[in-house]
């Protein structure tokens, strides 16, 4: 299992290769990990005696009270480790082990061994990873349509985006192969070859499509990525919002090479405002993200981390997974209500497939040339709002027949009204 030698430096750009550990942060780590008998006059930690917060207690929605351990509160108020609170990292690591059984967990290869960093939401991890790996002119493989937040990171980095087609089952492997067959697998060994080095995808509850990448396709895609030595960015914030069980196994779960950077998020399950996500990947690459964190945010908010950790510890892994099931059940009911209303008002006007997870329905209007003007100007006048599909396209200036509808917040009655208004708008446009 440990036999493939990965050359991680080929995934990193000049900026990232040039990063070195911050000397101040290294000292902080030494202080944090030393016995109390160490006298340190080295660090720049402020004296916490003047920090006013002493205790934190929480009331959960089930009415239960949670007092956060005083020693955790004290640590939350002070600078801490750039990779995150060790207790939170361990909790997440145990969850990853239970849910994904990553082959790289606990292996001896120091470069590919699985490591975790707590990020400011998964967005932060995705941003730092793309900024570490992509240079202007690079060929980057992206599932389309795709998450607008990722396109917004990528565009200023000026790569050449190779658009991999997808359908309700996620990325189409044949589309990936069509691109890759322009090269030979051995080209990946040539230092200045234009062969793509990164594949980005959202495998569950696709944003915007609600698609779900199947296990069969994942295996084909992973094999292609092995052949062409490609790093897989698995952006999976809707993993726990899959509408049927068992969960489709992740890329991380099959990652015997250490070529997967997996982005998890607590935003959809516990809180989006806490801004906590986590990145799991090979140590050689995660270390580069930690070095970036050392000089950017320094670390994710200590307060958010201890509040999250205390809630997760109280739930335990079983409780967390049960909570996820409840949330997924809710979104599944919302999805069903949304489909019922789409059937009621949009039949004959729009096409769609049933989302397998997440919170989005992706609607195509074959008789409408471009939804942008319709939505951005006329829909607002009718007091209804959707996202025009071009927001999720690599070239957003091209006409687009799609729009994204979210079913996370709206009641069935409001979905009824919203689609009725949308239907009237489309009919007006078509002069029906």
Binding interface with ligand PMP (CB under 6 A): 121-123, 147, 149, 202, 207, 235, 237, 265, 267, 272, 277
CA nearest to 255, candidates 90, 112, 98: 112
- Smaller CB separation from ligand PMP, 338 or 368: 338
Min separation Cβ 150 and ligand PMP, Å: 7
Min separation Cβ 17 and ligand PMP, Å: 26
Pairing state between β 260-265 and 56-59: unpaired
**In whole angstroms, what is the distance from residue 384 CA to residue 425 CA?**
10
Task: Tell me how crowded residue 29 is: count the other CB atoms within 10 A of its CB.
Answer: 15
- Smaller CB separation from ligand PMP, 29 or 169: 169
Which residue's entry shows tokens 């950017």? 296
- Smaller CB separation from ligand PMP, 103 or 203: 203
Pairing state between β 170-171 and 198-201: unpaired
Return the bridge partners of 161, or none.
Answer: 140
Min separation Cβ 19 and ligand PMP, Å: 22
**In whole angstroms, what is the distance from residue 304 CA to residue 76 CA?**
8
- Smaller CB separation from ligand PMP, 290 or 426: 290
Helix, strand, coil percentages for the chain (3-state, nearest 5): 45, 15, 40
At 365, is the secondary structure helix, strand, or coil? coil
The CA R_g of the chain, rounded to the nearest whole Å, is: 23
Task: Tell me how crowded residue 234 is: count the other CB atoms within 10 A of its CB.
Answer: 24
**In whole angstroms, what is the distance from residue 385 CA to residue 419 CA?**
10
Min separation Cβ 181 and ligand PMP, Å: 28
Q: Cα 373 from chain centroid?
A: 30
* Length of the chain measured in residues: 432
- Smaller CB separation from ligand PMP, 138 or 235: 235
- Smaller CB separation from ligand PMP, 89 or 368: 89
Min separation Cβ 300 and ligand PMP, Å: 11
Min separation Cβ 278 and ligand PMP, Å: 9
H or E segment to which residue 10 belongs: none
- Smaller CB separation from ligand PMP, 85 or 360: 360
The residue with its CB nearest to ligand PMP is: 121
- Smaller CB separation from ligand PMP, 86 or 149: 149
Min separation Cβ 106 and ligand PMP, Å: 26
Min separation Cβ 126 and ligand PMP, Å: 6
- Smaller CB separation from ligand PMP, 131 or 235: 235
- Smaller CB separation from ligand PMP, 235 or 257: 235
**In whole angstroms, what is the distance from residue 126 CA to residue 209 CA?**
19
**Residue pair 173/164 in contact by the 8 Å Cβ criterion:** no
Min separation Cβ 121 and ligand PMP, Å: 3
**In whole angstroms, what is the distance from residue 262 CA to residue 252 CA?**
7
* Tokens linked to 341: 């209303």
List all residues 6 or more positions away from 285 whose beta carbon is below 8 Å from its beta carbon.
8, 11, 12, 129, 132, 231, 261
Min separation Cβ 7 and ligand PMP, Å: 28
List all residues 6 or more positions away from 140 whose beta carbon is below 8 Å from its beta carbon.
134, 154, 159, 160, 161, 162, 196, 197, 198, 200
């Amino acid at each position: 299992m440990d036999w493939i030698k990965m050359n991680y430096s080929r995934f990193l750009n000049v900026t990232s290769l040039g990063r070195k550990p911050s000397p101040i942060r290294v000292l902080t780590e030494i202080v944090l990990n030393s016995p109390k008998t160490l006298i340190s006059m080295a660090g720049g930690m402020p004296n916490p005696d003047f920090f006013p917060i002493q205790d934190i207690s929480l009331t959960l929605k089930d009415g239960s009270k949670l007092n956060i351990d005083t020693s955790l509160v004290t640590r939350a108020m002070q600078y801490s480790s750039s990779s995150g609170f060790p207790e939170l990292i361990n909790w997440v690591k145990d969850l990853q082990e239970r849910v994904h059984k990553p082959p790289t967990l606990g292996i001896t290869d120091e470069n590919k061994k699985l490591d975790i960093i707590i990020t400011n939401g998964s967005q932060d991890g995705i941003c730092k990873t793309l900024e570490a790996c992509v240079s202007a002119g690079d060929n980057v493989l992206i599932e389309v349509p795709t998450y607008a937040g990722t396109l917004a990171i990528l565009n200023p980095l000026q790569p050449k985006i190779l658009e991999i087609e997808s359908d309700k089952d996620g990325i189409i492997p044949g589309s990936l192969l069509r691109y890759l067959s322009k090269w030979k697998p051995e080209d990946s060994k040539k230092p200045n070859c234009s062969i793509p080095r990164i594949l980005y995808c959202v495998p569950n509850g696709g944003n915007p499509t609600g698609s779900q990448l199947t296990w069969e396709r994942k295996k084909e895609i992973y094999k292609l990525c092995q052949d062409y030595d490609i790093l897989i960015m698995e952006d999976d914030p809707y993993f726990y919002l899959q509408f049927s069980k068992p969960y489709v196994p992740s890329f991380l779960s099959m990652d015997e090479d250490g070529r997967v950077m997996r982005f998890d998020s607590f935003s959809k399950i516990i809180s989006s405002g806490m801004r906590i996500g986590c990145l799991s990947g090979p140590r050689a690459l995660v270390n580069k993200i930690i070095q970036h964190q050392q000089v950017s945010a320094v670390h994710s908010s200590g307060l958010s981390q201890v509040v999250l950790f205390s809630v997760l510890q109280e739930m335990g892994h079983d409780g967390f997974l049960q909570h996820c099931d409840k949330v997924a059940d809710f979104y599944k009911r919302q999805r069903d209500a949304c489909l019922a209303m789409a059937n009621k008002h949009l039949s004959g006007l729009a096409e769609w497939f049933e989302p397998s997870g997440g919170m989005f329905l992706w609607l195509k209007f074959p008789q409408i040339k471009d939804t942008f003007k319709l939505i951005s100007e006329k829909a607002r006048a009718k007091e209804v709002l959707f996202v025009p599909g071009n927001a999720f396209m690599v070239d957003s200036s091209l006409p687009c027949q799609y729009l994204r509808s979210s079913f996370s917040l709206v009641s069935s009655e409001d979905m009824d009204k919203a689609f009725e208004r949308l239907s009237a708008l489309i009919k007006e446009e078509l002069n029906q």
